[in-house]
Structures are given as C-alpha cells and as structure tokens.
Amino acid sequence: SFRDLKPPPPPSLAIAQQYALSQLPRQQPGDPQPGKLYPLYTSLEHFDRFGTDISQYMHFTFYSTRVFLLLFLFNLSSIIMNFEGGRFAAQGFDLKFPATIFTMPSLGNAAFDGTLARGGHSYGVIEFLTSTALVAYLFFIRGKMNTIRKRIAFHAS
C-alpha cells in the first residue's frame, strides 16, 4: 500500500560521478591505451567511431576556427583604422564603455581625411578577400563533409 513505501535514498555525488565516468567513450583495441579515456587532444579521425554527425561536427569546428582566425587577421587592419578614426568623438558623441566596444571599430568611426578620403579601396579589397575566402571555405567544407560521410558509411579510411 501507499503507506508501506519507503523514501528513496538521498542523492549521492560519488555515485553520480561514477556513473557519468562509466558512460564516457574509451579507447578501442588498436589505440595507444585501450580502455582508457581519449586524450583531450585526440586526432580527428578518432571521432569517426562516434558516427557521422559527431565526426562532421568536430571537423567543422576544427576547420572553422582556423578560417575565422584567418578572416579576423584579414580584417584587423580595417578594425584598427576604424578604431583610430576619431569621427565619433569629433561629432561630440558620448562614448561610454559598453557602447565603445561596438561603435569604435565600426566604419562609422573612420576618419574622413584618412583612407576614406582616398576612396577607401582597402576596405573593398579586404571585403573581397573575406567574401572569397568564405565562399572557398564553403566548397571546401562541403567536400570534406561528403568525404567523412562516405568514409564512415563504407568503413574505409
């Protein structure tokens, strides 16, 4: 009956941690340390064992971080030129800290007597390089994802 039921035992952090640890994937036979957890910096090919979605996600994040770092470096000169422009201060805008993070490096802060006075061609070149790199990356990553899908589907390396 209802009155004979006993309350469940109190939660145990140790048991929860032990269970969570038992659910983590381990290195397979043929790996350097079978039965041990995968190292933090494991090769991307190891993620093929977890299926197409996981492997594609890990490859996508790996390549995307490098592409976006490169694009940041492409655009860094424009950001610095805009940051040093001083147009907002010259127009009397009250530049307090939170707003400056977004407004100071924007094109609106670029000085009229600087790059923009000479036509602002460097902005166009940087935008072209950024757009070209992103389009090239889209084709590259699409091919990479297709290769991973086929490799996992047909169990070939």
Give every residue of the chain whose pLDDT is below 70, as ranges: 1, 83-120, 156-157
Hey, how many other C-beta atoms are within 10 angstroms of the C-beta on 83?
A: 15
Look-up of token digits 């009397």:
92
Cβ atoms of 142 and 60 closer than 8 Å: no
pLDDT of residue 41: 86
Measured CA to CA in angstroms, residue 78 lies from 20, 60, 61, 87, 110 at distances of 47, 27, 26, 15, 9
Cβ atoms of 148 and 63 closer than 8 Å: no
- The model carries a pTM of 0.69
Q: If phi over 0 gives left and psi between -120 and 50 gives alpha, with beta otherwise, what is residue 35?
A: left
Burial pattern 33-68, b for ≥16 Cβ within 10 A else e, equals eeeeebeeeeeeebbbeeebeebbebbeeeeeeebe
| Measured CA angle at 63 (ends 101, 150), to 5 deg | 145
pLDDT of residue 134: 96
